[in-house]
Amino acid sequence: MTDDRILLELKSISKSFGPTAVLEGIELAVRDGEFITILGPSGSGKTTILRMIGGFTQPSGGEILLEGRDITGLPINRRPFNTVFQDYALFPHMTVAGNVSYGLMVRGRPRREIARKVSEALDLVQLGPLADRYPAQLSGGQRQRVALARALAARPRVLLLDEPFGALDKNLRLDMQIEVKRLQRELDITTIMVTHDQEEALTMSDRIVVMSNGRIEQVGTPDEIYGRPATAFVSILKSMCPKTQTSLCRSYCCGHPTELPTGPSANLGITSRNSPMRDTFSSSRTFVAVTDRKVSL
Ligand SMILES: Nc1ncnc2c1ncn2[C@@H]1O[C@H](COP(=O)(O)OP(=O)(O)O)[C@@H](O)[C@H]1O
Ligand SMILES: [Mg+2]
């Protein structure tokens, strides 16, 4: 359950690579138990934020606080976070069990504890019977589960997910979205996910952070983002996609320009009505797509 306690804070975070500034003025407070999604087009700086939280790269300016304590300079292995990378980054020469135990071994946990936690983590993702297989002997979905089990084995305070479903085909992606959300609820684990997929963000998140060009455009619940867009950019997210002819383009970096349709009611539509995720995660929300032209309801 989300509570109002702030677990993690990004304060005035900026990041430059050489002379190029890629992030500026990033302010974000993540609540304990929250599922928060960073949504933005390719190149907007999502992965860079996640990597800074995980400790894989240092901010050029600003601070990262965990329960009020400055962890900006803390090395990766001293942060109670774990990451599922976009390509899973499994060790090909290690078995499933070996991959899942790796983080615990690096942290110097006793052998008996490691065995128990690995077995629990594999049970969580229903991979117990495949513990002795190697990554090359697994399907894409199974590899994703291994990466998830590896990240969850140490029960991190924060789970970081970078486009975790990007490599899966559509049906499997939906299954895994449901699975990840179930685990997040069951384990009550604060989760920060990065995606460019609006529907994924909409259906899985307690709050969404909309990014564009290295800046945060808006932070809010799915209802707030879709009901009261703070900027033109956020409202454009919801305009008609000429490719899918739906009011909500699944992936707004699909390469198709989103032109704002004209007419007061042209772009009024309920989004995600048929999404299987919708029934699973939200019972009463109604998402209405509007443009930055005012539409009365
Ligand atoms: N190690 C790096 N060196 C130079 N530029 C980088 C590096 N990592 C990311 N960038 C640049 O930073 C910007 C944001 O990248 P990234 O955070 O990966 O975006 P996203 O995950 O939203 O697609 C991009 O323009 C990218 O080219
Ligand atoms: Mg990325």
Query: Of ligand 1's atoms, which has the minimum distance to the CA of residue 15?
Result: 12
CA of 64 to the centre of ligand 1 (A): 19
Give how far Cα 17 sits from Cα of 59, 170, 192, 204, Å.
10, 34, 23, 32
Nearest protein CA to atom 24 of ligand 1, as residue:
43
Please tell me the residue having the least CA distance from ligand 1 atom 14: 45
Whose alpha carbon is nearest atom 4 of ligand 1? 17
Q: How far is the CA of 47 from the centre of ligand 1 (A)?
A: 7
- Give CA separation, 116 vs 6, 81, 100, 133, 256, in Å: 31, 20, 11, 18, 49
> Atom 3, ligand 1: which residue's CA is nearest?
17
Helices 140-152 and 111-124 cross at an angle (nearest 10°) of 140
Q: Would the pTM of this model clear 0.85, i.e. be above it?
A: no
Under DSSP, is residue 270 helix (H, G, I), strand (E, B) or coil? strand
Helices marked H in the chain: 46-54, 96-106, 111-124, 140-152, 170-187, 198-204, 222-227, 232-236, 276-281
Q: 211 alpha carbon to ligand 1 midpoint, in Å?
A: 13
CA atoms of 213 and 236, how far apart (whole Å): 15
pLDDT per residue of the chain (297 residues) written in tens, 0 to 9: 566 899 999 999 999 999 999 999 999 999 999 999 999 988 999 999 999 999 999 999 999 999 999 999 999 988 999 999 888 889 999 999 999 999 888 888 899 999 999 999 999 888 999 999 999 999 988 999 999 999 999 889 999 999 998 878 888 888 889 989 998 999 999 999 999 888 899 889 999 999 999 999 999 998 888 877 777 777 666 554 444 444 444 444 444 434 333 333 222 222 333 344 434 433 333 333 333 333 333
Q: Name the closest ligand to CA 24.
A: 1
| Amino acid 250: pLDDT | 41
d(CA 146, CA 94): 12
Atom from ligand 1 closest to the CA of residue 163: 21
The distance in angstroms from the start CA to the end CA of the chain is 32
Q: How far is CA 112 from the centre of its chain?
A: 32
Encode 181-235 in three state secondary structure: HHHHHHHCCEEEEEECEHHHHHHHCCEEEEEECCEEEEEECHHHHHHCCCCHHHH
Please provide residue 202's backbone torsions phi and psi, each rounded to the nearest 5 degrees: -60, -40
Q: What confidence score (pLDDT) does residue 263 get? A: 31
Gap from CA of 265 to ligand 2 centroid (Å):
35
Cα→Cα distances 188→42, 119, 121, Å? 29, 19, 15
Mutational pocket test of ligand 1: of 10, 42, 47, the residue with most ligand atoms within 8 Å of the beta carbon: 47
Q: Which residues have CB under 6 Å of ligand 1?
A: 17, 22, 40, 42-48
Which ligand 1 atom minimizes the distance to the CA of 41? 22
pLDDT of residue 99: 96
Index of the ligand 1 atom closest to the CA of residue 162: 21
Query: How far apart are the CA of 237 and the centre of ligand 1, in A?
Result: 21
Long-range pairs of 131-134 with CB within 8 A, sequence gap ≥ 24: 131/95, 131/96, 131/97, 132/95, 132/96, 132/97, 133/95, 133/96, 134/92, 134/93, 134/94, 134/95, 134/96
Tell the residue nearest (CA) to atom 6 of ligand 1.
17
Q: Which residue has the tokens 């594999």?
A: 122
17 CA closest ligand 1 atom index:
4
Residue identified by tokens 């190029």 is 20
Instruction: List C-alpha distances in Å: 292 to 80, 151, 238, 273, 287.
Output: 41, 40, 9, 22, 16
Residue closest via CA to ligand 1's atom 8 equals: 48
Q: Return the ligand 1 atom nearest residue 57 CA.
A: 1
Q: Which ligand is nearest to the CA of 43?
A: 1
Q: How far is the centre of ligand 1, averaged over its atoms, from the C-alpha of 293 (Å)?
A: 33
Tell me: the pLDDT tens digits for 88-112?
A: 889 999 999 999 999 888 888 899 9
Q: So what's the pLDDT on residue 236?
A: 63
